Structure 1
Amino acid sequence: MPVPNRFRLLPALAVFALLLPAAASAQPASAAPPAAAAPDNGASFDVEIRAPAAAKDLLERHLDLRRYREVPDLDEAELARLVTLAERNVRELLGTLGYFSPIVRITREAGTRPQLVVTVETGERTVVREVDIAFEGAIADATDPAIVSQREAIRSGWGLPSGQGFSQTAWDDAKSQALRRLGARRFLAGRISDSLADIDAPANRASLGLKLNSGPVYRLGEMQVQGIDRYDARLVSRLARLPAGSEYDRDQVVQAQLRLTGSGYYDSAFILVDPDSDPAAAPVQVTVREAKLQKLVLGVGLTTDSGARLSVEHTHNRLPAIGWRAHTSLQLDRKAPFAQSELTGIPDQDGWRWSVLGRAERLEDGDLVTQGRRLRVGRFRSEDRIDRNVYVQYDGASVRSSSGLPLSAAESGAGSALSVNYVWTGRYFDTLPTPSSGYGLGIELGTGVTLGGERSPFQRAVVRWLGLRPLSRGRLQLRAEAGAVLARASTQLPATQLFRTGGDTTVRGYGFREIGVALPDGEVGPGRYLAVGSVEWQLPIRRGGVDSDFDSLLFMDSGAVANKVSELRAVVGIGTGVRWRSPIGPVVAAVAYGVKPRKFRLHFSVGFQF
């Protein structure tokens, strides 16, 4: 028996219109019951539904009969009319769940107030027997492998396949999902041209048919930008990266909006590709609201690595004369204060930007105090998943011991160097800033020459990896990092090119940069080789049977620093903690036990960094 796509429920307004005249004419004054005999709650009758759980829940929420319990002064004729209409209403509602042959009985039971009992035996649920998905438009006979793949993905991803129970909700959802997949790429004007759910009620079988009209393939045209005032007009197109002639892709449009709002130049951005425009060159309409020219941010914080912290950040989005952005940061804390300024140009047609950075820092590592200087000039490109950076860098470091112990430059990390570097970072996580699966990989390669004392060449490499693997309960986070600086033993490398580790985000259970190369009298200096590993189990904390935004943590971190690979000796920290998946990223509080020092440390960190 064919049925329409949407089961029509009994209009409540029409029933109410039928009842009003009767209620007005059927109550003569002599027949009116005494006011004292009326129930306290004013209801004319009660309704009890006896049905399986899923059907009972639906009927209690949507059965029209329940709406008229509060209508006063219903006579017997009006009540009988409601019962007749209610049976039809029950069958229509059960049809939305896939039950087209139910047994429905509505009886009246005696009491101080009439009670209508709706008894339902749903019978066997209708099951989808076959599905026919047809196409018309450009997608129908296309031989382009990408379009063929899209067509097959719509068919294979159909949400209501053969063998699954039919319901109106599932049928509507499956059609909507198929239409979204059609319109997600190329076919902006895609629509449903026909659909049919053919129900064989006696056999409890459903045959589904859907026809999708893709329309033509849409390609992007020129970008039309509104809202530009203070910033370079080229910024929008170069940040959005939606080239004219490319095929329409909804995800790319969304990512372009995110790039614009995340650039710091715009407070909001809205991108529209009109389906009524020319498919061969559909204009890309961009509306932006520009951010303020300058921004000042003051911050106060506390970290278990460096203690209390005060920070000041100033951004000027368009410097006079050159039009570059200037970002200046000043951070004051006990162990790692620094001052830094970076100038960044606007991206070129390929997305590459020039950058100039200067930084001065002070690092307190036990009794060793390092004064570091850095100057960097280079170019970088940031994409949705991959960042690339190529630069020339000067590093300088002077080191002194607060204990007065004399140390050689090679031991302490005093020196200077000039290097050429390439950095590649790939982030393949599901969501940011709080991912639950995926991985990230970072590679740093550099080669340079020392400038202090005898000039010596050196090479530097660092590889970082972080993976998140979902489990049946929670997820497993694995982290690894390895670094090496290759040079002659006598080479005076600056400490800023060498390695130390330990602290909140590296090896918990140890102090900030506490792990390094052992020096005389218990000092710890930087080393040429680094190895760090971590295993962490993140188990969601449940509330009311539902996963909350909090995870419990169990972890083991290990790390080692040495001047020779053969001298690497890992130290271990184990611990537990709590993680909150906040809007700004993970907030972690943990207690870790350092196996080597045999003591506990509290660790606190904010944000996801890779």
Structure 2
Amino acid sequence: MIETSLFDRYLTRKSLAYRRTGYAALLLLTLGLQGCGVLGGTKTQSEEQDAAQEAGAVAATEGDVAFDVQVHSDDRSIASHLEQHLDVQRYTRFPDLQESEFNRLLIEADANARDLLAALGYFNPELTLTVQNNPEGKGVPRSIVVQVQPGVQTVVQSHQVTFAEPMASNPEAQAQRRRIERRWSLQDGDPFTETDWSAAKSAGLRELQKYRYPTAQIANSQARVDADANKADVSVEYDAGPAYRFGEVKLTGVERYDAQGIRNIARIPTGADYSEEELLDAQQRLAASGYFDSAFLMLDTENSAPDHATVVAQLREAKYQKVVFGVGVSTDAGPRLSIDHTHNKLWPLGWRTVSQLALDSKNQKISSQATAMPNEKGWAWFMGGKLERADVGDVKANSVSLVGGRSKSVGHIDRRYFLQYDISRVMGGSELSGSASSIMANYDWTGRYFDSKSNPSSGYGLGAEVGVGYTLTPQQDPFLRTHLRALQFIPFGARNEVGRRSRLAVRGDLGAVVADSGVKVPASLLFLTGGDTTVRGYGFESIGSRAQGDDLYGGRYMAVGSVEWQRPVTLFGNATDWGHAMFVDAGAVSDETSQMRVYTGVGTGIRWNSPVGPMQADVAYGVQKQQVRVHLRMGFSF
């Protein structure tokens, strides 16, 4: 039994004896192959090694195949591993390889194979190397044949995770210590491999470096292997180093925009314990603000004190203006054209302004919103307007909307409070024709608690919007508008080869406009549903209320629910980035809760975790309308 801090090689007396026996057998083999050539050669062993190393620098694809390597084992995965990683494979395409060099490669192949097997936890393998001369016409003059009996795989008998002072006795670090110990991946009874051992140590170190201790390192690690018993005792000690706190933010590359405003966007909590998540969130806020083409934040651990460490923000400013043209198509609204214009410092307020012109078959819209730099608490003023012509069920509606208020985005939570003025005019020759206007005070809250912002596999999101309003025309009456939504991903089952699991996606959406029955509110404040992101199997916003003339129109009450089962797809035994989904959607809209009719859609689809975000394609059957529709969607939003 031996101790080592690295997994490069594990030697026991038993394995050493096997190795010496293998060396002796191979030496006799090579002497028989080359006769007296070994003794009578003009090159020294050192010169031969140098020559072999020079030959190894030549591309492995040069020349004809001089020999091949065949590995035979009852465990095909072990055979494939050796065939792929044996060093001797680098020399298979050297037809002028000297016999003495070839024989040296044979001897080294035995040691190399034992090291590769030890890395997989097999310390008592039985190896036999032979050279097989092949008949002419086969294409390969000879083959190195490796017979492998790996033996019993070593397992972890015990593991120990410790911490050096001062962290070991620091009560504030107790939760962090327990979290690392609880998440330690190499548990008792697990197979002991080089990959798993290194991964376990690295994962513990990364967990330590994420919070309070960015300069943490591994002080000592040992793997005590009893090859005779096929048992391993592992231990690691982490040296956390000093605890760090956030200090001032140093900006580099800022010339066009207000430096204090940029710091307010980053919102690094000066004086708080260092957190990698806080740093990455600040970096994401800067990158998403639109003021920069790139943003990178790092903690200066070399030139600043741990209790007041400087955060260095390396920024590349974006130009004042940007125009983006977009052309697309959707299964909801058909072809789509958009033009987006951004001005990061529009006169006279100097606010960032985003304007858009969007045209499709159901909606034509021009909008603009201006947002100020946030203050020290993260709140930013905004104001905007929108002019829209849209299909509202079976009728057309021209609408104008004006908003103004404040917003704040911190961590997982977005908040807004604002005043909103709406006026809508419905056209169509039915009883719905006419105009209505209102003013409303709103509060909007959204919390996102997903494991990924762009492509989540677990977690949940909640959203709530509440508005208290007053109609201005055609009469003056109060009303209340509320909109609640939720989404949760529930993973279950075993992970596949790339760590993915099956999951349930459960979604809910509720909306209500509470007012007296005779109150007419703007059409843009009523609810419609159906389409790619709501009730699949039905057209975009084709589920609503019915007027006396049977015209489809927005309703005061809406309820939507969905349950979707998603599972990863394995092709030919290999995990992929594709998935399969089956779902049931249901939704209802009405002016009276007692008259709500539920529309149900069922279907199936595929999912692809693309480099730019999730993509989905669904085929859904609308039960009530007895129709089949295709739905396409890209990206994730909540």
Residue equivalent to 2:8: 7
Do 2:438 and 2:470's aligned partners in 1 also have CA atoms closer than 8 Å?
A: yes
Superposed displacement of residue 429, structure 1: 2.0
Alignment correspondent of 1:431: 452
1:338 aligns to 2:365 (yes or no): yes
Alpha-carbon deviation of 1:547? 4.6
Q: Paired residue for 1:375?
A: 402
Aligned alpha-carbon RMSD (Å): 3.0
In the aligned structure 2, how far is the partner of 1:383 from the partner of 1:92?
51
Q: Does 1:92 align with 2:115?
A: yes
Q: Does 1:195 align with 2:202?
A: no
Q: Identify the residue that residue 329 of structure 2 maps to in structure 1.
A: 302
Give matches, 1:164-313, under 5 Å. 164-276=190-302, 277-313=304-340
Output the CA distance in 2 between the equivalents of 1:65 and 1:305.
59
Structure 1: which 5+ residue stretches go unaligned?
A: 27-39
CA deviation map 1:550-591 (0-9, x unaligned)? 444433332222222112121223344444444444444444
Distance 2:475 2:524 in 1: 19
Q: CA deviation at 1:125?
A: 2.4
Greater shift after overlay, 535-544 or 90-99? 535-544
Q: Does 1:463 align with 2:491?
A: no
Answer whether contact 2:437 2:474 (CA < 8 A) is retained: no
Find the partner of 2:564 among 536, 539, 547: 536
The one-letter code sitting in structure 2 at the alignment partner of 1:289 is: R
Partner in structure 2 of residue 484 of structure 1: 512
Per-residue Cα deviation, 1:308-355 (whole angstroms, up to 9, x for no partner)? 322111110111232211111111223211111111011111111111
Give the total of aligned pairs. 580
Whole-Å separation in 2 of the counterparts to 1:72 and 1:584: 49
Alpha-carbon distance in 1 for matches of 2:91, 2:64: 13
> Aligned partner of 2:268: which letter?
L
Offset of residue 8 of structure 1: 5.2
SS in 2 for 1:288: strand
CA change 1:292–1:67 in 2 (3 A) is closer
Q: TM-score, normalised by structure 1?
A: 0.87
1:450 Cα deviation after fit: 1.1
Q: What is the distance in 1 between the residues matched to 2:282 and 2:574?
A: 34
Match of 2:375 in 1: 348
Gaps of 5+ in 2: 11-18, 20-26, 28-36, 45-62, 136-140, 494-500
Report deviation, 1:169.
Answer: 2.4
Q: Which amino acid aligns with 2:459?
A: G
Between 119-128 and 221-230, report the one with greater CA deviation. Answer: 119-128
Aligned residue for 1:102?
Answer: 125
Task: Indicate whether 1:597 and 2:620 are aligned.
Answer: no
Aligned partner of 1:325 in structure 2 is 352
- One-letter amino acid of the structure 1 residue matched with residue 449 of structure 2: Y
Q: Which of 86, 99, 121 does residue 63 from structure 1 map onto?
A: 86
**Of 483, 494, 503, the match for 2:531:** 503
Residues 9 and 118, structure 2, Cα contact 8 Å, conserved in 1: no
Q: Distance in 2 between matches of 1:66 and 1:298?
A: 53
Of residues 442, 460, 473 in structure 2, which corresponds to 1:421?
442
Q: Which residue identity lines up with residue 76 of structure 2 in the other structure?
A: A
**Residue in structure 1 matched with residue 177 of structure 2 by the alignment:** 151
Using a 3 Å threshold, how does the CA distance of structure 1 residues 455 and 156 change in structure 2: closer, same or farther? same
Deviates more, 1:364-373 or 1:255-264: 364-373
CA contact (8 A) 2:606 2:618 kept: yes
Q: Is the 8 A contact 1:319 1:325 kept in 2?
A: yes
Using the alignment, how far apart are the partners of 1:78 and 1:561 within structure 2? Answer: 82
TM-score normalized with structure 2 length: 0.83
CA contact (8 A) 1:23 1:73 kept: no
Distance 2:610 2:108 in 1: 51
Q: Which residue of 1 aligns with 2:586?
A: 558
User: Which shows bigger deviation, 88-97 or 65-74?
Assistant: 65-74
Q: How far, CA to CA, are the matches of 1:510 and 1:90 in structure 2?
A: 61
CA deviations 1:76-109 (Å, max 9, x no partner) are x776655554444433333222222333344556
Give yes or no for contact 1:499–1:561 (8 Å, CA) kept in 2. yes
Name which of structure 1's ranges 532-541 and 267-276 shifts more when overlaid on structure 2: 532-541
Structure 2 CA distance for aligned equivalents of residues 307 and 79 of structure 1: 67
From the superposition, tell whether residues 588 and 190 of structure 1 become closer, same or farther in structure 2 (CA, over 3 Å). closer
C-alpha deviation, 1:217, in angstroms: 0.4
User: More deviation in 369-378 or 155-164?
Assistant: 155-164
**Aligned residues of 1:389 and 1:424 also touching (Cα < 8 A):** yes
Answer whether contact 1:413 1:498 (CA < 8 A) is retained: no
- Opposite residue 281 of structure 1, the aligned amino acid is H
Aligned equivalent of 2:422: 395
Per-residue deviation, 1:228: 0.2
- Cα distance, 1:72 vs. partner? 4.2
Deviation, structure 1 residue 139: 1.0
Deviations 1:411-454 (A, max 9, x none): 55731111111111112222232323322211111112111143
With over 3 angstroms needed to count, the CA separation of the structure-2 counterparts of 1:574 and 1:73, relative to structure 1, is closer
Are the structure 2 counterparts of residues 414 and 81 from structure 1 closer, same or farther at C-alpha, using a change threshold of 3 Å?
closer
Give the aligned partner of residue 29 of structure 1: none
C-alpha distance in 2, partners of 1:399/1:78?
89
Asked if the contact 1:508/1:557 (under 8 Å) is kept, the reply is yes
Q: After superposition, give the CA deviation of every residue in 1:113-143 in whole Å (9 maximum; x if it has no partner).
A: 6765443333322222222322113311101
Deviation for aligned residue 1:609: 3.0
Structure 1 position 220, deviation (Å): 1.4
Specify the SS of the correspondent of 1:242.
coil
Residue 448 of structure 1 is matched in structure 2 by 469
8 Å CA contact retained: 1:98, 1:126 = yes
Q: Deviations over 1:350-375 (max 9, x none)?
A: 11111101111112235422111111
Letter in 2 for 1:196: Q
